[in-house]
Amino acid sequence: MKAIRLDQVGGPESLLYGDMLKPVARDNQVLVQVYATAITRTEFEWYPTFHTPEGGIRPFPIILGHEFSGVVEAVGPDCMGVQVGDRIYGLSDWFINGAQAEYCLTVPANIAPKPVTLDHTEAAAVPISALTAWQALIDHAHLQAGQRVLIHGAAGSVGSFAVQLARHQNAQVIATASVANIDFVKALGADEVVDYQVTPFETVVGDVDVVLDTVGGDTRGRSWGALRTGGRLVTVAADAEGAKEQRVRDAFFIVEPNRNQLMDLARLIDTDVIRPVVGAVFSMENVRQAHEQKPVRGKNVLRITEE
Ligand SMILES: NC(=O)c1ccc[n+]([C@@H]2O[C@H](COP(=O)([O-])OP(=O)(O)OC[C@H]3O[C@@H](n4cnc5c(N)ncnc54)[C@H](OP(=O)(O)O)[C@@H]3O)[C@@H](O)[C@H]2O)c1
């Protein structure tokens, strides 16, 4: 199969477009023909990209891209609930090879039927960002109707889903974004958008029940004071992983695959409650550009197979 491989630790310059053996579905595995996979630019820096869960070095070649949309090509002998030909989307285990390839392996618990109103390139941009927003707001922050939530980085991939989900929860949504994205974030459902480059948000926002931080650093540091007594801050920003400050460590989590949540998200998408934001779409040959070119909004997507 055609695949984008890493034969050594590195960044986008180390990505190679070439041939690899097509994987075989064993046990309860699902072999997916990948139609599209979204780009996560920070993936080179993540621990699981080059390490095993036990702390060793993962064998090369390594394939990136853990969210995908595609069609089930084959299933292992113990696989239940998934049929060849199913049109699915999902998020795979971080420690295995990903979906920047014509085929990838996954398991039924990590996939769900793809939203029918999205094509594969749009569907591929959903799993990581939408699951992160869902798990942050609902599982970790327990956001309730009527509560006030401050969402940092609201124009980003995670933030744009978070604004839409918080609005759907009937929360009062206050968001931060730069001037070019203010109307965009309002259109997603934010009640109030603070231009963080002009107004220090903590001077105009306070007494919130929940802060969702996707930015980190100083933005997170200044957010604690915006919480009401008993309010909750959740952070997913990459710099929170391994932070020294205990309250930051406690506030951080890493998104997990979740079939039921993917099914709920597909329902919300197909009933027009939420939409993904796709930056640009690239071919496999242009994978380095796909990683290097920061999208104005949303996620870049790699198209693997024409629909
Ligand atoms: N822990 C997890 O499981 C998990 C999962 C997914 C992502 N992440 C991490 O979460 C972070 C966000 O990911 P993403 O995919 O949403 O990134 P993204 O699409 O690049 O979005 C980041 C957004 O932050 C905004 N921004 C930058 N500086 C800001 C500031 N000072 N205040 C407010 N907004 C600011 C930018 O908007 P403007 O253009 O308006 O400036 C940009 O749209 C990254 O660190 C990523 O690694 C973690």
For residue 181, give the ligand 1 atom closest to its CA. Answer: 40
- Say if residue 1's pLDDT is above 90: yes
What whole-number percentage of the chain has pLDDT above 90?
97
Handedness of CA 245, 246, 249, 250 (dihedral sign): negative
Residue with the smallest CA separation from ligand 1 atom 22 is 156
Q: For residue 236, report the distance from its CA to the centre of ligand 1, in Å.
A: 9
Helix, coil or strand: residue 6: strand
Strand pairing report for 67-75 and 30-38: antiparallel
Domains of the chain, with CATH numbers? 2-126+276-303 (3.90.180.10), 129-251 (3.40.50.720)
Choose the residue to mutate in 182, 214, 278 for probing ligand 1, maximizing ligand atoms within 8 Å of C-beta.
Answer: 214
Q: Which of 84, 90, 58, 54 is nearest to 71 (CA)?
A: 84
Helix, coil or strand: residue 204: coil
Residue with the smallest CA separation from ligand 1 atom 20 is 156
Helix, coil or strand: residue 86: coil
Helix, coil or strand: residue 166: helix
Q: Which of 228, 218, 216 is nearest to 156 (CA)?
A: 216
Residue with the smallest CA separation from ligand 1 atom 36 is 153
Choose the residue to mutate in 215, 249, 252, 261 for probing ligand 1, maximizing ligand atoms within 8 Å of C-beta.
Answer: 215
Rounded Cα distance between 184 and 206, Å, is 23
What whole-number percentage of the chain has pLDDT above 70?
100
Q: For residue 79, report the distance from its CA to the centre of ligand 1, in Å.
A: 36
Q: How far is CA 170 from CA 148, 149, 213, 227, 236, in A?
A: 10, 10, 19, 19, 22
- Say if residue 296's pLDDT is above 90: no
- Say if residue 67's pLDDT is above 90: yes
**pLDDT value for 307:** 87
Choose the residue to mutate in 128, 184, 236, 250 for probing ligand 1, maximizing ligand atoms within 8 Å of C-beta.
Answer: 236
Rounded Cα distance between 125 and 121, Å, is 7
Peptide bond into 113 cis (omega under 30): no
- Say if residue 182's pLDDT is above 90: yes
Rounded Cα distance between 226 and 54, Å, is 39
pLDDT band for 225, please (50, 70, 90 cuts): very high
Ligand 1: lining residues by beta carbon, under 6 Å: 42, 128-129, 132, 152-153, 155-159, 176-178, 181, 196, 214-215, 219, 236-238, 254-255
Peptide bond into 61 cis (omega under 30): yes
Residue 41, Cβ density class (10 Å: 0-12 exposed, 13-18 middle, ≥19 buried): middle
Residues 108-126 pLDDT 10s: 999 999 999 999 999 999 9
**pLDDT value for 284:** 98
The pTM score is 0.97
Residues 252-284 pLDDT 10s: 999 999 999 999 999 999 999 999 999 999 999
Q: Are 171 and 148 in contact (CB under 8 A)?
A: yes
For residue 135, give the ligand 1 atom closest to its CA. Answer: 3
**pLDDT value for 5:** 97
Choose the residue to mutate in 93, 126, 178 for probing ligand 1, maximizing ligand atoms within 8 Å of C-beta.
Answer: 178
